[in-house]
Chains A and B, each alone.
Chain A
Amino acid sequence: MGIKGKVWKYGDDVNTDVIFPGKYTYTISDPKEMAQHALEDLDPTFVKEVKPGDILVAGWNFGCGSSREQAATCIKHTGVGAVVAKSFSRIFYRNAINEGLAIVESMEAPDAIQKGEEIEIDFAKGELVCKAGTYTFLPLPKEVIGIVEDGGLIPHVKKELGLK
């Protein structure tokens, strides 16, 4: 499985409040409407210009702060193909897996990737190709990969419980 997309690049410690402001957490419940506010307080141009398949690239501790799952949901529903970061905050990491949003943890790649360039990610091989070169990354833990393969936690649980 692979994706190819244009890069939106941000820095370290991108927190869930700037990804999806707290004031919307109980007033917006439709994922498509959530997507219209993605990264609103970080980069207002993002929502206007993001194209399905684009890739978010950031530094350390992406998604820190609140446990709000909407931070992962809103990014996923903009059509973003993956988030690449040096590290993810632990709850965002879990939320992304559970929402079926692809994440790539790489300490080196984010520094090498340029804003606006097109990069390619091959999840099966664990490879990310950008202008500066090819970077490898570890797949998700084997205990967790089933959740992603089933399309997120809820479909995964349904399958486990034998519910249609």
Chain B
Amino acid sequence: MKMGKTFAEKILAKKAGVKDVVPGQIVTVSPDVIMSHDNTAPIAKTFKKIGLPKVVKPEKLVIFLDHCVPAAGEQYAQNHKEVREFVAAQGVKHFYDVEVGICHQALPEKGHALPGRLILGSDSHTTTYGAFGAFAAGIGRSEAAALWATDKIWLRVPYTLKVIIKGKLPGRVSAKDVILKIIGDLGADGALYRAVEFTGPAIEAMSVASRMVLTNMAAEMGAKIGYMYPDGKVKEFLRNRTREPYEEVWSDPDASYEKTLEYDVTDLEPQVACPHTVDNVKPLREVAGTKINQALIGTCTNGRIEDLEAAATILEGKTIARGVRLLIFPASQEVIWEAMKKGLLEKLSRAGGVVMNAGCGPCLGAHEGILAKGEICLSTSNRNFQGRMGNPEASVYLASPATVAASALKGEIADPRTV
């Protein structure tokens, strides 16, 4: 009997130009999109070492400046300059400079994350685009340079883990709490080398923005890709963003999964990832009362309109606790425009928030809110590794936008359902 195929198997077979593939098999493929960001400059240096004058398919390159924007110092400025020079020299059409926003938000906004596409990016959270039904995986810098030169790469066909999410999320509990709960259960390598298929009524009920939280953080359990069916909400998002044709690919009903997990989120409580690993997840009540110095809302994980709305609902007309710095990082320029129109940024600013530009901010320890020794930050971002926000003796906790807003108000980790 012929077994059905998973999404990952189908896309990789199609891109490799073969009839069938099986998990574990290594295939050679050409991606549809090659994403890179500030690391484009070092990739360009590696590309130069190969000795080819021109990128073979410059139309496939999508390049952002987002990791340390605007430049925090001379070296960053030089790096950005080299990226702009590379883009001009190679005729890269899809280049987005410092004003546009974080790659994982802006690449979909600019119409590059289409269902059925194979997207490779030199960033671990490239998995985010799986929310649009794309096969999207992270690669390294040398691989990006090699792709520019050869337009091909080897990939191992992953086994697939299916996560069915049922039930209705309670008030002030959101997609971030769902994915933290899953990562806490599975561990940092719970989906290592695997494709993770998120499905079920709770996913269908989620906005595209919420779904992106799950696929973004699939990387934190080791997943190669996270993906979801590109339903009507995705098509609506893509309307007016692209004229390119696309074809959705989906797992056969009789596809073979390595494992299937089921969650019911009806009684889910707010979750917090504690220092210094993303899988060190506890129900919020166990860490409630932990004093915080900085509260961060935004980044590629939770910097979308619904996130700012969740925070503004809690903070409107109030003032954050003395001694707490609240930083707001919208994920993109488009989010900033919409948030301005809705008055969200004003509400957050009046509550005491510092409204920042669209970018990665201090998430990777570069600038705009680095922690001092011994300080604690509660953040909506996706990583809390030791030293992540610059100082190895600082601590980062991760939670939802509602939790971070409520905690900024109290000056300590607080349950958003109680404020």
Instruction: Report which A residues bind B (CB closer than 8 A).
Output: 12-13, 15, 17-18, 21-23, 25-27, 29, 40-42, 60-61, 64-69, 72, 87, 89-91, 94-95, 98-99, 141, 143-144, 152-154, 157-158, 160-161, 163-164
Contacts of B142 in A (CB 8 A): 69, 95, 98-99, 152-154
Chain A CB count within 10 A is highest, among B141, B366, B390, for: B141
Interface assignment of B277: CB less than 8 Å from any CB of chain A: yes
Expressed in whole angstroms, the Cα–Cα distance for A41 and B49 within the complex equals 31
Known: A17-B387, A143-B28. 16 other contacts (CB 8 A): A12-B189, A15-B277, A25-B366, A26-B38, A27-B76, A29-B42, A41-B392, A61-B189, A87-B192, A89-B222, A141-B26, A143-B26, A143-B154, A152-B142, A154-B49, A160-B150
Interface assignment of B124: CB less than 8 Å from any CB of chain A: yes
Give, as a whole number of angstroms, the nearest-CB distance from A87 to chain B: 6
B75 and A22 contact, CB distance less than 8 A: no
A163 and B52 contact, CB distance less than 8 A: yes
Expressed in whole angstroms, the Cα–Cα distance for A99 and B156 within the complex equals 19
A18 and B222 contact, CB distance less than 8 A: no
B366 and A157 contact, CB distance less than 8 A: no
Contacts of A13 in B (CB 8 A): 188-189, 277, 279
8 Å CB contact of A154 from B38, B42, B145, B364: B145
B139 and A94 contact, CB distance less than 8 A: yes
A144 and B392 contact, CB distance less than 8 A: no
Beta-carbon nearest neighbor of B145 in chain A: A154
**Known interface pairs A41-B392, A69-B140, A157-B50; A23-B365 also in contact (CB < 8 Å):** yes
The digit string for B360-384, where 1 denotes a CB below 8 A from any CB of A, is 0000111000100000000000010
| A-B pair number, CB within 8 angstroms | 138
A69 and B141 contact, CB distance less than 8 A: yes
**Known interface pairs A21-B365, A69-B140; A64-B189 also in contact (CB < 8 Å):** yes
Contacts of A72 in B (CB 8 A): 140
Contacts of B50 in A (CB 8 A): 154, 157-158, 161, 163
Contacts of A18 in B (CB 8 A): 385-387
30 sample A-B contacts, Cβ–Cβ < 8 Å, listed by A number = A12-B188, A13-B277, A17-B365, A17-B385, A17-B386, A18-B385, A22-B365, A22-B387, A23-B387, A23-B390, A27-B76, A40-B392, A41-B386, A61-B188, A61-B222, A64-B222, A65-B383, A66-B364, A69-B141, A72-B140, A89-B192, A94-B139, A95-B140, A98-B140, A143-B154, A157-B50, A160-B150, A161-B50, A161-B52, A164-B51
Contacts of B189 in A (CB 8 A): 12-13, 60-61, 64, 87, 89
Give, as a whole number of angstroms, the nearest-CB distance from B362 to chain A: 10
Beta-carbon nearest neighbor of A17 in chain B: B385
Expressed in whole angstroms, the Cα–Cα distance for A62 and B257 within the complex equals 25
Give, as a whole number of angstroms, the nearest-CB distance from B368 to chain A: 12
8 Å CB contact of A26 from B79, B138, B390: B79
B42 and A65 contact, CB distance less than 8 A: no
Interface assignment of B294: CB less than 8 Å from any CB of chain A: no
**How many residues of B are counted as interface, with CB atoms below 8 angstroms from the partner's CB atoms?**
52
B26 and A157 contact, CB distance less than 8 A: no
A17 and B140 contact, CB distance less than 8 A: no
A17 and B143 contact, CB distance less than 8 A: no
Beta-carbon nearest neighbor of A25 in chain B: B364
Contacts of A68 in B (CB 8 A): 141
Beta-carbon nearest neighbor of A29 in chain B: B42
Expressed in whole angstroms, the Cα–Cα distance for A158 and B73 within the complex equals 35
Beta-carbon nearest neighbor of A66 in chain B: B124
Give, as a whole number of angstroms, the nearest-CB distance from A83 to chain B: 15
Beta-carbon nearest neighbor of A62 in chain B: B189
**Known interface pairs A61-B188, A67-B123; A161-B150 also in contact (CB < 8 Å):** yes
Q: Which 4 A-B pairs rank lowest in CB-CB distance, beginning with the nearest?
A: A61-B189, A22-B364, A17-B385, A41-B387
Interface assignment of B224: CB less than 8 Å from any CB of chain A: yes
Beta-carbon nearest neighbor of A70 in chain B: B141
8 Å CB interface, B135-170 against A = 138-143, 145-146, 149-150, 154, 156
Contacts of B42 in A (CB 8 A): 29
A17 and B26 contact, CB distance less than 8 A: no
Interface assignment of B388: CB less than 8 Å from any CB of chain A: yes
The digit string for B214-252, where 1 denotes a CB below 8 A from any CB of A, is 000000001010000000000000000000000000000
